[in-house]
Amino acid sequence: MIAEELVIACCTDLAGKVRGKAFPATQFDKRTKRGIGWTPTNVQITCFDTIAESPFGSLGDLVLIPDEKARVRVQLGGDVPTEHFALGDIRHTDGRPWEFCTRSILRDALERLDRVAGLKLFGAFEHEFQFRNGAVVIGEAYSVNGFRAERRLAETLVAAMREAGLEPDTFMKEFGAGQYEVTMGPSRGIAIADQSTILRELVRLVANASGKEVTFTPIRDPDAVGNGVHIHLSFLSGDKPATWDQNGKHELSKKAGQFVAGILKYLDSIIAITAPSVVSYLRLTPHRWSAAFNNLGFRDREASVRICPVSDLSDIAKASQFNFEFRAADATASPHLQLAAIVHAGVQGIEEDLPTPEATTEDLSLLDASALAARGYVRLPKSLPEALDRLSASPTVVGWFPARFVEIYAKHKKGEMAFLEGKNQKEICSLYERVY
Ligand code: GLU
Ligand code: MG
């Protein structure tokens, strides 16, 4: 059979989905200038393929412009078609960035970080996922045998990551049933979110190529573990690491401490963006090693922000290893929007000159509301509607985003929730598991 290779221009959207349009690969260069046509109301397509209330209706036209720097071409071999896509930016037809383009929103946040603090972001997303179809095997947490069951897939994935320009790091059998974790090396700026998006697509690609299905859903069953996304972050000033200070509190540099303080101060208002589905809030509960309070943890996996370990044995200098991770995130969000919200909150902390937070070492779920408040902690929202209310109620947070962004984002999420009305928790978990 004859075939001509197509490339997909695509982007992450408000539903955390990667959507796009394909064209002949021979046109790539031309399309990096003129783009492909895109429709404003697409932004209100929910993860369940319903359309939430849209201010655009049937009107308007945009262009999606693929970016050569975010282009991926991977050949798995056999009879699997060549995988070829490029993330891009959505613009108005006169070239201005579109207000709902997640990549442009992240670019704005990174520019603010540079303007206010003279810092560039360096980091990587860490992902957990589960196989959907396959017998539930027990006794395999972290095991070599559990790894062996997916060795072929892991090795194909690592090769695909390299071909796509991602630096492979680790792959392991995580704790949960059929759960695995994959990490990658750090990159800079927009590429941090691009590479997270690319990684998720590659995992799906290699799984589907071997007849398997994976899910990145935050939680499949409230009685079992969740699938987290941990966003590792550090800073560069020029080309030098700027996160570690031997004499700083918890060894954080002054600006890194202010940045973390900003994240924690605004966390309850941005969580509707970093953990944006109904089931995200089943995962964000105590004792799951996710996040339930706006606390910093020193190497504590129950904290929203955790200072990660450094090793004296590493060939990498301590200042370059030092990073913190944001744990109140999952894969139902656009990585670009997640990172934009985190960066804005952090820069706000730098602008407000907030002190480096204390780090907790105890179980905060044992404290009552007044004891928590006395120490400046809040329980994070327990549901998506509560999280959306906090987002909309913060003029500071609303002001970080383009005009009407938060209002339309909230409408999108309401559309998503409307689809779930009348369904029980099991059905809701199962729906999210299918779409993420
Ligand atoms: N599965 C946990 C989560 O939902 C994270 C476990 C870990 O620390 O790797 O975030
Ligand atoms: Mg893990």
Phi-psi map region of 246: left, alpha, beta (phi>0 left; psi -120 to 50 alpha): alpha
Q: Tell whether ligand 1 has an atom less than 6 A from the beta carbon of residue 218.
A: no
Beta strands, E only, 3-56: 6-12, 18-24, 36-38
Which ligand 1 atom sits nearest the alpha carbon of residue 227? Answer: 4
Token reading at 80:
């699997």
Cβ–Cβ contacts within 10 Å for residue 421, how many? 6
CB 258 within 8 A of CB 349: yes
Farthest CA pair distance, the chain: 70
CB 216 within 8 A of CB 227: yes
CA of 221 relative to ligand 1 center, distance in Å: 15
Query: What span, in angstroms and rounded, lies between the C-alpha atoms of 239 and 76?
Result: 35
Q: Tell whether ligand 1 has an atom less than 6 A from the beta carbon of residue 9.
A: no
Q: Tell whether ligand 1 has an atom less than 6 A from the beta carbon of residue 103.
A: no
The one-letter code for the residue type at 87 is L
Q: Tell whether ligand 1 has an atom less than 6 A from the beta carbon of residue 147.
A: no
Query: What span, in angstroms and rounded, lies between the C-alpha atoms of 102 and 90?
Result: 8
Q: Which sign, positive or negative, has the C-alpha torsion 301, 303, 306, 312?
A: negative
Q: Tell whether ligand 1 has an atom less than 6 A from the beta carbon of residue 189.
A: no
**The predicted structure's pLDDT at residue 8:** 98
Q: In sequence order, what are the beta bridge partners of 6?
A: 24
Query: What span, in angstroms and rounded, lies between the C-alpha atoms of 175 and 19?
Result: 31
Which ligand 1 atom sits nearest the alpha carbon of residue 230? Answer: 10
Token reading at 376:
């400046």
Q: Which ligand is nearest to the CA of 297?
A: 1
Q: In sequence order, what are the beta bridge partners of 128?
A: 181
Token reading at 270:
């941005």
Domains and CATH numbers, the chain: 6-98 (3.10.20.70), 105-435 (3.30.590.10)
**Angle made by CA atoms 93, 97, 99, in degrees to the nearest 5:** 110
What is the end-to-end Cα distance of the chain in Å, rounded? Answer: 33
Query: What span, in angstroms and rounded, lies between the C-alpha atoms of 100 and 293?
Result: 29
Element (H, E) at 187: strand 187-188
Q: Whose CA is nearest to atom 6 of ligand 1?
A: 289
- 123 class by beta-carbon count within 10 Å (0-12 exposed, 13-18 middle, 19+ buried): buried
CB 93 within 8 A of CB 75: no
Q: Which ligand is nearest to the CA of 226?
A: 1
CA of 291 relative to ligand 1 center, distance in Å: 9
CA of 317 relative to ligand 2 center, distance in Å: 24
CB 87 within 8 A of CB 11: yes
Token reading at 275:
């953990």
* Residue 192, CA distances (Å) to 70, 232, 282, 289 in order: 11, 10, 27, 23
Q: Tell whether ligand 1 has an atom less than 6 A from the beta carbon of residue 289.
A: yes
Q: Which candidate, 359, 263, 255, places its Cα nearest to that of 307?
A: 359
Per-residue pLDDT of the chain (436 residues; tens, 9 = 90+): 899 999 999 999 999 999 999 999 999 999 999 999 999 999 999 999 999 999 998 999 999 999 999 999 999 999 999 999 999 999 999 999 999 999 999 999 999 999 999 999 999 999 999 999 777 788 999 999 999 999 999 999 999 999 999 999 999 999 999 999 999 999 999 999 999 999 999 999 999 999 999 999 999 999 999 999 999 999 999 999 999 999 999 999 999 999 999 999 999 999 999 999 999 999 999 999 999 999 999 878 899 999 998 888 888 898 999 999 999 999 999 999 999 999 999 999 999 999 999 999 889 999 998 999 999 899 999 999 999 999 999 999 999 999 999 999 999 999 999 999 999 999 999 999 999 9
CA of 290 relative to ligand 1 center, distance in Å: 6
* Residue 425, CA distances (Å) to 47, 288, 420 in order: 17, 18, 9
Rg (CA), the chain: 21
CA of 174 relative to ligand 1 center, distance in Å: 9
Which ligand 1 atom sits nearest the alpha carbon of residue 291? Answer: 10
Query: What span, in angstroms and rounded, lies between the C-alpha atoms of 270 and 394?
Result: 9
Q: Which residues contact 155 (CB under 8 A, 6 or more apart)?
A: none
